[in-house]
Structure 1
């Protein structure tokens, strides 16, 4: 089902990296719904106040965003797509501000960590952490701060009328964040997929996980991601979150049938089309009418 002007819930405010990811995936017609937390984005979807959620799940420097894996399982909304966004960070200030007059630099903690090489050259700058990169840019504009610079994306500089003093100050020029696209169950398309996000448990026995991973290998599936998280209140028990990719649907279907024998509480969190654009290159906007199918399987052994 195609929605001409989808309502997309994002964590953060306008010009955040979540909005940038949402615009690249859905196009300029998307209506962004600002939320204070990732949980609030899921609540918007649950209450039908949004059609989709765009949620960061991992960053090539900072790693996995673990609390978001819990949200995937708790709410059960299907993953219907993904997008990899190159993280390009710029130093910005009010028009007319000179860099030599700047005393403070503000941004999200992860963005600040990604610019350590730049800060090493200017040790006099005092760092102020904030919850959102775009909010830092907005604060400079709203409060007319002439002694402070923000680190954010070019979208924030444009939206809040700031000048970019220095471009691409991130230490790693190939850093990217992977975002998942989620929706509610009756907003699903029925078209082919070539990637899936799975969650399951295995028994606490020697070789239990290896049996599952061997099945993926034998069927020719590429396991692009594995993440374990302890199950609250259960010693030595874990949820395993796995992403797999395939070229032929039958191999994926065969693998799923086999691993059900060796897993408990098996869930297919989503089946969707993988994002194949090179992460270091800005991806083209994607249409929202891509094919997905969703299966929810629970098995207690």
Structure 2
């Protein structure tokens, strides 16, 4: 099974992809049957899925602290893909260096800006360490290993340290333990496998720019007794000050989801169902590092 991710091997997306694929593939007992295909840009991830070059993609859609990944919402709407499943991964950040490095020798640390921001207290307690933004958490570990500087370190997952043969100098340095990232596994829309246990729906819609249209759309969910778990707005590309609304809601039955979809299509300018899937539990005991 080939799964595309945005970012380097060893990233949190890599870890999420292995976990999700192992849970989906019958008889799959390990990661040896899964090939992770790293991509530098998110549009490339979706392109590989649509072209059929890979079987699926695993993408982060939102972090419990940093918020949504806006570009991925836009790509879910634009491309002919659908959400097949979701997972929630506990994010644990680690200070990672060369195998022979020590914390006392570190003078510079690099990582994605979000990871640096989530480890602010640790960095403040080590003012001698200069924080340098980098494009990717796992990529920062890769670079540290390639350059071989004992005074350089990275902030990333245990997966990244293991993948690149690096050493964890300080574990669990994130400020907030309630740090989760929600991931979607997406496939080409015509290849998504229906899940009879699906209890959640994601969809996108736009409304006409006149009073009451958004209220009218949201009332449809209330009439059906549906619980909205998320609502997000994004600008419509090329149409200033117009917005597309992304909604997640708890699905009682497939029939009720069909009723909601039909009612929205009658009252909205555009509606696209992004997927019906099983909601993922949030596990505070998740041991991912």
- With the length of structure 1 as denominator, give the TM-score of the two structures: 0.88
For structure 2, the 5+ residue unaligned runs are: 23-30
Question: In the alignment, is the contact (CA less than 8 A) between 2:110 and 2:154 conserved in 1?
Answer: yes
SS at match of 2:81: coil
Q: 1:218 to 1:178 in 2, by over 3 A?
A: same
Deviation at 1:234, TM superposition (A): 2.5
Q: Which residue of 1 aligns with 2:170?
A: 166
Aligned-residue CA RMSD in angstroms? 1.7
Tell me, in whole angstroms, the C-alpha distance in 2 between the residues paired with 1:185 and 1:128: 39
- 1:93-104 equivalence runs, <5 A: 93-104=97-108
Alignment of 1:154 onto 2:158? yes
Tell me, in whole angstroms, the C-alpha distance in 2 between the residues paired with 1:11 and 1:85: 16
Deviation at 1:249, TM superposition (A): 2.7
Q: Which residue of 1 aligns with 2:218?
A: 213
Tell me, in whole angstroms, the C-alpha distance in 2 between the residues paired with 1:125 and 1:18: 27
Deviation at 1:222, TM superposition (A): 1.6
Equivalent of 1:21, from 12, 16, 31? 16
Deviation at 1:206, TM superposition (A): 2.0
Q: Which residue of 2 aligns with 1:114?
A: 118
Q: Which residue of 1 aligns with 2:86?
A: 82
Question: In the alignment, is the contact (CA less than 8 A) between 1:220 and 1:246 conserved in 2?
Answer: no
Q: Which residue of 1 aligns with 2:207?
A: 202
Q: Which residue of 2 aligns with 1:299?
A: none
Deviation at 1:253, TM superposition (A): 2.4
Bigger mean CA offset, 246-255 vs 87-96? 246-255
Tell me, in whole angstroms, the C-alpha distance in 1 between the residues paired with 2:162 and 2:225: 46
Tell me, in whole angstroms, the C-alpha distance in 2 between the residues paired with 1:273 and 1:50: 23
Tell me, in whole angstroms, the C-alpha distance in 2 between the residues paired with 1:76 and 1:128: 37
SS at match of 1:158: helix
Deviation at 1:254, TM superposition (A): 2.3
Q: 1:187 to 1:261 in 2, by over 3 A?
A: closer
Deviations 1:34-68 (A, max 9, x none): 11111111121122210101111111111111111
Question: In the alignment, is the contact (CA less than 8 A) between 1:104 and 1:128 conserved in 2?
Answer: yes
Deviation at 1:279, TM superposition (A): 4.1
Q: Which residue of 2 aligns with 1:228?
A: 233
Deviations 1:14-49 (A, max 9, x none): 111110010110022321001111111112112221
Question: In the alignment, is the contact (CA less than 8 A) between 2:123 and 2:131 conserved in 1?
Answer: no
For structure 1, the 5+ residue unaligned runs are: 1-5, 285-301
Q: 1:136 to 1:51 in 2, by over 3 A?
A: same
- With the length of structure 2 as denominator, give the TM-score of the two structures: 0.91
Matched pairs, number = 278
Tell me, in whole angstroms, the C-alpha distance in 2 between the residues paired with 1:279 and 1:177: 12
Bigger mean CA offset, 46-55 vs 245-254? 245-254
Deviations 1:213-232 (A, max 9, x none): 12212212221111111223
Tell me, in whole angstroms, the C-alpha distance in 1 between the residues paired with 2:118 and 2:277: 30
Deviations 1:177-230 (A, max 9, x none): 111111113422233222111111112222211122122122122211111112
